[in-house]
Amino acid sequence: MTADEDRIVDLLRRLDPEPVRPVRVDLTAAVHEARRRRRSRRTMSVSAAGLAVLAAVSVPLVVGGGPSAGPASQPASPSTSGSAPATIAPPATTAPGGPTACTAQPLPVPGGHAKSLVTGGDPTGRFLAGRSYPGDGRGNPVILWDGDRAREYRLPGSDQRMVDVNAAGVAVGSVYLDDRPQPYVIRNGRPARLPGLASGEATAVSADGRIVGARQIGDRQRPVLWSDPDTAAVELPLPGPRWEGTAIGVDSAGTVVGKIHDGPSGVTRTAVWRAGGGGPELLPTPSVEGGPASEFVAHSLRGGWITGVAFRDEGKVRRIYPARYHLATGRYEPLPSGVSPSAGNGRGWVVGPVDRMDAGLLTDAGTLRLPDLDGRTGRYAAVAVSVSDDAAVIGGQLDVEPGQKSLVMRAIRWSCR
Amino acid sequence: MPDASEQEFVEYFRARLPMLQRLAYSLCGDGDEADDLVQETATRLFQRWSRASRADHIDAYVRAVVVRLFLDSRRKGWWRIRLFAAPPDARHAEDGGVEDRTVLWAALARVPPRQRAVLVLRFLHDLPVDEVARTMGCSAGTVKSQTSHGLAAMRRLLDGADLVETTKGAA
């Protein structure tokens, strides 16, 4: 991105898209019109064409089991598809159920900027990473929190985001600079560009400092590994020349997990590269309520658990199920429904959206909704992006003035017990 | 008598109106057209409310409806070009911020619709690339390339516009 374009981005970010008059939208009329269209076969067939266009780009996503699914309802039962041998998982282990209550606390923001959010966290719960929005034309300062101590880092470019941190406080992510994403690391308090790629991003860091991510080539990505922050990235082998994707997790044993697909329209597969090289193992999909999932998209690798989302297409509705795969046993283990996972922890528990406005923690015991600052739920557009291995610390954000014209998001730490 | 689902829908939509109005307005740059977009979005959402209300990420889904309706309207030529109240060269306002905003809005209105939608979602609405990709129904890479093309277009359109820093606070 040129300096001019940086400037334009900054001006755009500050552009206030507030129409200078009240809204003229009649919800009663919308309800009546919707009912009329539902009744009218002719109109339905006309609007169906329009809806098909919409459906093509945004298939309704439904959390399997429904938002009120209780702890024991409809666990995703394990099975396989494709060529892998069928495995039967044991029933859910009797591990302690996880936290039963959480409280929300705004994280301190250097400079006191109104808008901030959390972008990642470490497995122990000590470190969180995030960013703020000073609107000073220099992009987003990255913030690393060590407990309650916040430190700000000014990285070059724009859209700076550190998406993972390890227990030593090493954070990885990317910035958008010179018209392309570029991988960055912050180590020992010093930001540095990761070597070996003209363009790309880092997505995860292991306890011993291995980093994974993707090389960006035009519109395509290819999974890469940095064996340490000073060594140039190497591409991970893919099943064929058209395959592309990104690595999403790495552990200290050298195992890498990614999401890859065969060409731009291929179904996303979860890939596992074991230490020692060789092509990736492609995981089968789990069985979910109603049959085999069509897709399993991994979001995290923590403590030997790959957590992510299983999709099952039923007509025009795409149902979402949380799913977790245990690397040591090679099996999907049941997980109650209720949350659409965005990140997981070393127990195979996940955090993610629940219903429309809430975020939740999903453990073996079921869903725990994360409260807002007043201890209530349902009004504050909560987002959870990281969860520690004991689930005592969850990082995310809350809209602090819900329903107001100016949505102000604040970086939040939920402390759970 | 409104039924429970209608009440739920109205409650949800009313809470989201400011956000949706801002999105629609920043896409089409016209208050009347923005209202029409939001009205049609409300109608379509209630048509399928029983399913949509259970959707994960319903906000993302509703945003996608607004964006698709906007892009469809551009493709089908339904809209009339109603540029912003002040033309780009009417730069006589005392407040540099207002002046710049007018010029910026006018430039944004001339960026091709898909690129404009990407710029609006990413920078005016601060959505991450993944979320924009979901909303637009394309890959993250496409979002990035459309961003790049959109910014280049803005740069060309603003060439010589000599923008000053606005004095407004952080967005």
pLDDT per residue as tens digits for the range A44-88: 333 333 333 333 333 333 444 333 233 333 333 333 333 333 233
CA B154 to chain centre: 16
Alpha carbons A129 and A141: distance in angstroms, whole number: 11
Return the CA Rg of chain A. Answer: 22
Coil vs helix vs strand at A229: coil
- Tens of pLDDT along B21-67? 888 988 887 777 788 889 889 998 998 887 777 776 788 889 989 99
Contact criterion met (CB below 8 Å) for A204 and A164? yes
Across chain A, mean pLDDT equals 81
- Segments of chain A with pLDDT less than 70: 1-3, 16-23, 39-96, 219, 316-318, 355-357, 379-380, 401-407
Residue A241 in 3-state DSSP?
Answer: coil
Residue pairs between chains A and B whose CB atoms are closer than 8 Å: 192
Residue A214 is inside which H or E element, if any? strand A211-217
CA dihedral sign, ordered B84, B87, B91, B94: negative
In B12-41, the residues whose Cβ lies within 8 Å of chain A are 12-15, 17-19, 21-23, 25-26, 31-32, 34-35, 38-39
Write the ipTM. 0.77
Cβ-defined contact of A23 to B119 (cutoff 8 Å): no
On whether the CB atoms of residues A400 and A409 are closer than 8 A, the answer is yes
Residues 6 or more apart in contact with residue A133 via CB below 8 angstroms = A13, A113, A114, A115, A116, A140, B126, B170, B171
Cβ <8 Å between B124 and A30: no
Contact assessment for residue A76 and residue A332, using Cβ atoms and an 8 Å cutoff: yes
Q: How many CB atoms lie within 10 A of CB B74?
A: 17
**B135 contacts in A (CB within 8 Å)?**
58
Using the Cβ of B134 and the Cβ atoms of chain A, whether some distance falls under 8 Å is answered with yes
Statement: the pTM of the whole predicted model exceeds 0.90 = no
